[in-house]
Amino acid sequence: MARPSSAADPAVDASPTSSSSLKSKRKSLVASGVGNVLEWYEWSAYAVFAPFIAAAVFDDTNPVSALLSTLAVFAVGFLMRPLGGIVFGRIADRRGRKFVLVTTMLMMATGSLVIGVMPTYETIGVGASIILLAARIAQGFAHGGESATAYSYVGEIAPPNRRGTWGSIAFVAIFGGSALAYTVGGAVTSALSENAVAQWGWRIPFLLGAVLALVALYLRRSMDESDVFESDTTATDSTPIPRRTVVRAIVLMIGMTSGITAAHYTWTSYVSTYAITQEGMDPDTAYWMLVIAQVIALVSLPFWGRLSDSIGRRPMLAAFAVLMFALQIPLTGAISANGWTLLVAATVALLIVSVPASVLSATLSESFPTKLRTQAIGFAYSFSVAVFGGTAPYLNQLLVSHDIGWVFGVYIMALAAATGVACLFMKETKGVHLSDV
């Protein structure tokens, strides 16, 4: 769908009359990234404290059922993401990227605050479960718009020959938010007794997230609007975009993202729960091992992004497909009650996930025209994340509870293969000018 230009072209995707300097764009990149970190922190905190939320908000007479219910709510939040991606994506394509990034930040913070102060099952019964569900639905709706708009925004403000490098910051924020959530989780479980965490300590990360959101909102208010978006809104070219071309690009992006997102959420949102509930690992140890693994993966992202600016997006995606297909089951099988096993397995897995994750923003933004870029990304990416990523923790726990956890390993392998197949049908878009897409 894109017409690649020279990868050596140092120009940015803005028009010659753009008022935004490269320095200003870098500040906007930081503002977007900080907001993304806090959004993903708030989103990931739920997965980190899933066992404690299960006991507080659902009927704890059946611990397995309560945990599955908590993970099901996690999945429901994800199912709202495609709708949020489409609705906010359409708004972003009409009113601008900045407006949506501020709005979604407010919604995520509100949802986090609600979870932090909500009553428990013991206090109001099933009403607590309903409040939690409503908060997660609102967060899922906002998160779909946030992710789509952030990918579109970062891709648009980046220089064409550095879009992989700049775009990797979008996933740095994802790992950063998740690592922050696990750091807070480790700190809370280390400082408080297990009973205190179960009674009130699990609320701390959500209340903290609501407060930190004020910092992100302050930074985002000073962001530049995307020059690519502003140039497109003033353009006179009204040539219709072939529906078949857009549908093909969406299908390819869903297939491409499926393996990446399933592997990502398995190794960030579920693996600690697996280590704690199935292998008997100490929760404090599990949290800190995963923090270290995510920080290592986070540091690698800009290097992978820079490599993609040299060799292209497709080789990065193909490398992930092959490595995850080969190592998913062996890495899961290596986890035991010893913390170092989780550290090694998660580090290797997340480094593999980092390879394609670093090019997601670039690949997605390079696959759709500006006038519908965000809404197309919003549907394709959010649909894939909802179907294959948000359901991963629930399916994992469900299959493990039936002593057939190996089936999920095969499932991840199949989705990694789907990423590889999609890669074969994709055109290389490294260095393309977004105005030419």
Q: Which residues contact 88 (CB under 8 A, 6 or more apart)?
A: 100, 103, 104, 142, 144, 145, 146, 148, 149, 374, 378
pLDDT, residue 5, reads 43
Q: What is the pLDDT of residues 122-168, one digit of tens each?
A: 888 878 888 888 888 888 888 888 888 989 988 888 888 899 999 99
pLDDT, residue 405, reads 78
pLDDT-based confidence at residue 17 (cuts at 50, 70, 90): very low
Q: How far is CA 306 from CA 166, 322, 338, 359, in A?
A: 8, 21, 35, 9
C-beta of residue 418 within 8 angstroms of C-beta of residue 259? yes
Q: What is the mean pLDDT of the chain?
A: 84
Angle in degrees, CA 143, 172, 266, rounded to 5 = 65
Pairwise CA distance, residues 319 & 266, whole Å: 19
Pairwise CA distance, residues 267 & 286, whole Å: 12
Q: What is the pLDDT of residues 397-410, one digit of tens each?
A: 788 778 887 888 89
Tell me the Ramachandran region of residue 280: left when phi exceeds 0, alpha when psi lies from -120 to 50, beta otherwise: left
pLDDT-based confidence at residue 59 (cuts at 50, 70, 90): confident
C-beta of residue 74 within 8 angstroms of C-beta of residue 46? yes
Smallest CA-to-CA distance from 25 within 161, 156, 148, 164 is with 156
Q: What is the pLDDT of residues 64-117, one digit of tens each?
A: 667 667 767 766 777 788 888 889 999 999 888 888 988 888 888 888 899 899
Calculate the dihedral angle through the C-alpha atoms of 148, 151, 153, 157, rounding to the nearest 10 degrees: -170
Quickly list H helices, 80-162: 81-95, 97-117, 121-124, 126-157
Smallest CA-to-CA distance from 40 within 303, 219, 265 is with 265
Q: Domains plus CATH for the chain? A: 22-229+241-427 (1.20.1250.20)
Buried b (16+ CB within 10 A) or exposed e, 301-315: bbebbebbbeebbbb
Flag whether the pTM goes above 0.95.
no
Strands (E), 88-164: none
Pairwise CA distance, residues 429 & 387, whole Å: 26
Q: What is the pLDDT of residues 345-366, one digit of tens each?
A: 999 999 999 999 999 999 999 9
Q: Which residues contact 246 (CB under 8 A, 6 or more apart)?
A: 1, 368, 372, 376
Burial (CB count <10 Å: 0-12, 13-18, 19+), residue 435: middle
